[in-house]
Amino acid sequence: MHSLSERYQLTENIKLTRLLAPVLISNVVVSLINVTTVAYYLLLLPYDPHRDVRIVGYIVDWSIAIFTAVTPWMILLRHPPYLRKLRSALHYKAAEVACAGPPRITNINGENISIQQEAGVHFKILSRSWL
């Protein structure tokens, strides 16, 4: 049996893994692009002293810049508290939720059911069964 702290640590590790998995995958993709580009231009192409190898630097720079720009958005969109703050800052569907009001609860016949009435009936039945 796991203690409470062990279960908490396991759930936190799972949450962190879900948060950082896209960042790790994109980092691996960017690293593969960079290594492949450098290996292709420097090792596989025949040597030419007049060849301009600045293109390698451009490709590596752009891939790192794109990764750097996308990483915060991946974290923002994967972390629930940050996502809630971002949505509230952008007023994402806030007006719709505020205007909607409480949901209308109906029974199978379409009649309105009040939660207080339903709870009252439930507790009356319970009190009768305990007497």
48 located within any domain:
yes
In a domain, 16, yes or no: yes
Q: Assess if residue 123 is contained within a domain.
A: no
Report yes or no on 27 lying in a domain.
yes
In-domain check, residue 121? no
Contacts of 79-88 spanning 24+ positions with Cβ under 8 A: 79/19
Query: Is 46 contained in some domain?
Result: yes
How large is the average pLDDT for residues 98-119? 66
pTM of the predicted structure, to 2 decimals: 0.54
Three-point CA angle 65, 21, 79, nearest 5°: 85
Range of the domain at 36: 4-101
Q: What is the pLDDT of residue 94?
A: 52
What's residue 114's pLDDT?
67
- The mean per-residue pLDDT over the stretch 125-130 comes to 78
Averaged pLDDT of the chain:
80
Burial 44-80 (b: 16+ CB within 10 A, else e): eeeeeeeeeeeebeebbeebeeebeeeeeebeeebbe
Tell me whether residue 36 is in a domain: yes
Provide the domain count of the chain.
Answer: 1
Does residue 107 fall inside a structural domain? no
Residues 52-80 pLDDT 10s: 878 888 988 999 999 999 998 888 888 88
- Residues 127, 117: contact at Cβ < 8 Å? no
pLDDT the model gives residue 42? 82
Beta bridge partners of 106: 112
